[in-house]
Amino acid sequence: MPLPSIQPRLPHAEPMHPADPDSLFAMAVGSVNAACEVMNTAPFVKSILSQPKNELIVNFPVMLDDGSYRLFKGYRIQHNNILGPYKGGVRYHPDVSLDDVKALAVWMTMKCALMRLPFGGAKGGVSVDAKVLSPTELMRLTRRFTTALGQNIGPDFDIPAPDVGTNSQIMDWMMDTYLNTQSNGARQAMQHVVTGKSLTCGGSEGREKATGQGICFVLLELLSQFGLTPEKLRFSLLGFGNVGSYAATILEDCGAKLVAVLDQSGAIVCNDGIKAHDLAAYAANHGGVRGYRAGGAKEIDHHGFYATPVDVFIPAALERMVDEHVAGSLNCRIVAEGGNGPVTPQGASVLARRNIALLPAILCNAGGVTVSYLEWVQNKAGVHWGADRVDDELRHIMVAAASRVSAVSRQYGVDLATAAFGAAVEHIAASYKQRGIFP
Ligand code: NAD
């Protein structure tokens, strides 16, 4: 009797949970799978990369300032560590979910591999609106979350960093909590358990601007392929937080012109250029770009923002914001992903059809994890480098990665986005081939 046919399960589907077609994790794994096809990667490597190694969910109570208690849910996803300790940010946001954190962890694996950093990929988060908590509540939440993670993080095992909703203060609290809960006598030498710390607590020069700086290094390296120069470059930004505002001011310092910005507060445009440094100061004081009028800037609606003609559009807000409709309205030559996963697969297809180049997040926004790596190296060596040294190291790593992506794109005849994942997967597959699978 013939055996019943077994439906192959999609790699992102969980037992009892059918795959969600809008899943961010499915989107992340889809990019990895496409790259594996192009690079002819061994099937076992593709299969390993289709799921995280470890998925940790913790529920923990925190006392609020009024004496009441609230239960929070936190996540730490460790996707892959073939190249080194797990590495990835911690996000505090009301929309944090298991699926999204898994996707972000996949992208961290790819990012570290593409940059050739000795790190694997992880991500964490707590489902919370940090803005409604007081500083003392935020501190208790952070300390309790860190304690709940316990020995699942460590300076040579899994190293958290800031992401949306977290900052150097939260990293300092995480480090302090971790050190205070170690029995090991060497605990004071473990400050590299987290990166993105304040300078006072072992942070690196250049970490705060690193992601924006990295976007700039990548663009400077690749612009000539499109016949563009930084001096004549016109760009727009979706999101004007840490990544967006630093990208804007650094690109402006290179001669480029910021033409339009959309953030959570509203959208502004100015054909003659918006002074990015001035806007950054304004947004910090007013909670966003809305209402900025200097130099003739005026308000526009979302459609007008996306349709504004520019050379480069930089989405630097949250995930999935550039769908097929937004991609269809864009009037640019390059989309440089400043945030993680801003372009949906449908959006990417529209961009490809319209001949708009997509520079993926694993290349463009890898400046943050790269300076995190430099912080980790400095902490381990007990040294502190100057800002110029950090910038030089960052430039070297980012430019090498951008050239790697161009080379794979030429060699395999694929777009730059596929090439970036291809260059990452190639490195991971080579390591698996050399080491084999234990036992
Ligand atoms: P942030 O919180 O500082 O800024 C987010 C920006 O997005 C804000 O300007 C906010 O107004 C805007 N925004 C949010 N929702 C919006 C909406 N619905 N419409 C329009 N604008 C909206 O965050 P960040 O640190 O700049 O991170 C942005 C992205 O970059 C995230 O995807 C993050 O994971 C990624 N990233 C950050 C770093 C880093 O070092 N900060 C490193 C790598 C990747």
Q: Which helix (H) or strand (E) holds 71?
A: strand 69-80
Q: pLDDT digit string (tens) for 359-368?
A: 999 999 999 9
Q: Residue 232 is part of a domain; what is its CATH number? A: 3.40.50.720
Q: Are residues 107 and 228 in the same domain?
A: no
Last-in-domain residue among 306, 324, 359: 359
How far apart are the CA of 338 and the centre of ligand 1, in A?
A: 8
Give φ, ψ of 228 to 5 degrees.
-110, 155
Q: Are residues 185 and 67 in the same domain?
A: yes
165, part of any domain: yes
Closest CA relative to residue 239, chosen from 283, 188, 285, 174: 283
Q: pLDDT digit string (tens) for 337-385?
A: 999 999 999 999 999 999 999 999 999 999 999 999 999 999 999 999 9
Q: Are residues 62 and 117 in the same domain?
A: yes
Mention every residue, 6+ apart, whose C-beta is less than 8 A from residue 356. Answer: 327, 330, 332, 333, 334, 335
- Nearest-CA residue for ligand 1 atom 42 is 368
303, part of any domain: yes
Q: Are residues 221 and 111 in the same domain?
A: no
Q: Cβ distance 281 to 257 under 8 Å?
A: no
160, part of any domain: yes
Q: Cβ distance 420 to 116 under 8 Å?
A: no
Supply the pLDDT for residue 188. 74
Determine the Cα–Cα distance for residues 173 and 179; give it in Å rounded to an integer.
10
Q: Summarize the confidence of residues 196-214 as an average pLDDT.
A: 97
Q: Which helix (H) or strand (E) holds 257?
A: strand 257-263
Per-residue pLDDT at 286 exceeds 50: yes
35, part of any domain: no
Q: pLDDT digit string (tens) for 87-130?
A: 999 999 999 999 999 999 999 999 999 999 999 999 999 999 99
Q: Residue 147 is part of a domain; what is its CATH number? A: 3.40.50.10860
Q: Are residues 242 and 314 in the same domain?
A: yes
Place of tokens 């992506």: 405
Q: Are residues 68 and 158 in the same domain?
A: yes
Closest ligand 1 atom to 366 CA: 43
Q: Are residues 310 and 194 in the same domain?
A: no
Q: Indicate the pTM of the whole model.
A: 0.94
Q: Are residues 139 and 63 in the same domain?
A: yes
Share of the chain above pLDDT 70, in %: 95
What's the domain range around 186? Answer: 53-201
Determine the Cα–Cα distance for residues 70 and 59; give it in Å rounded to an integer.
10
Q: Summarize the confidence of residues 170-179 as an average pLDDT.
A: 97
3-state helix, strand, coil in the chain (%, to 5): 50, 20, 30
- Nearest-CA residue for ligand 1 atom 16 is 264
Place of tokens 């992340």: 28
Q: Is the dihedral of CA 409, 415, 420, 425 positive or negative?
A: negative
Q: Is the dihedral of CA 216, 221, 224, 226 positive or negative?
A: negative
Whether residue 162 is preceded by a cis peptide bond, meaning omega within 30 degrees of 0, is: no
> Would you state the torsion angle of the CA atoms of residues 323, 329, 331, 337, taken in this order, to the nearest 10 degrees?
-10
Per-residue pLDDT at 12 exceeds 70: no
Mutate to test the pocket of ligand 1, among 90, 96, 112, 164 (most ligand atoms within 8 A of CB): 164
Determine the Cα–Cα distance for residues 391 and 406; give it in Å rounded to an integer.
22
Closest ligand 1 atom to 318 CA: 32
189: pLDDT confidence band, cut at 50, 70 and 90? confident
Closest ligand 1 atom to 317 CA: 7
Last-in-domain residue among 201, 231, 265: 201
Q: Are residues 94 and 225 in the same domain?
A: no
Closest CA relative to residue 421, chosen from 410, 408, 411, 430: 408
Determine the Cα–Cα distance for residues 337 and 341; give it in Å rounded to an integer.
8
Determine the Cα–Cα distance for residues 28 and 107; give it in Å rounded to an integer.
7
Determine the Cα–Cα distance for residues 138 and 63; give it in Å rounded to an integer.
10
What single letter denotes the amino acid at residue 243? V
- Ligand 1 is surrounded, with C-beta below 6 A, by 163-164, 211, 239-244, 262-264, 288, 316-318, 338-340, 365, 368
Supply the pLDDT for residue 2. 41
Query: Is residue 123 annotated as a catalytic residue, yes or no?
Result: yes
How far apart are the CA of 383 and the centre of ligand 1, in A?
A: 31
183: pLDDT confidence band, cut at 50, 70 and 90? confident
436, part of any domain: no
**Catalytic residue, candidates 46, 102, 123, 257:** 123
How far apart are the CA of 371 and the centre of ligand 1, in A?
A: 18
Judging by DSSP bridges, how do beta strands 334-336 and 312-315 pair with one another?
A: parallel
Per-residue pLDDT at 17 exceeds 90: no
Last-in-domain residue among 359, 374, 398: 359
What is the rounded average pLDDT for all residues in the chain? 94
How far apart are the CA of 254 and the centre of ligand 1, in A?
A: 23
- Number of compact structural domains in the chain: 2
Determine the Cα–Cα distance for residues 419 and 422; give it in Å rounded to an integer.
5
How far apart are the CA of 243 and the centre of ligand 1, in A?
A: 7
Closest ligand 1 atom to 245 CA: 26
User: Does residue 323 sit in helix, strand or coil?
Assistant: coil
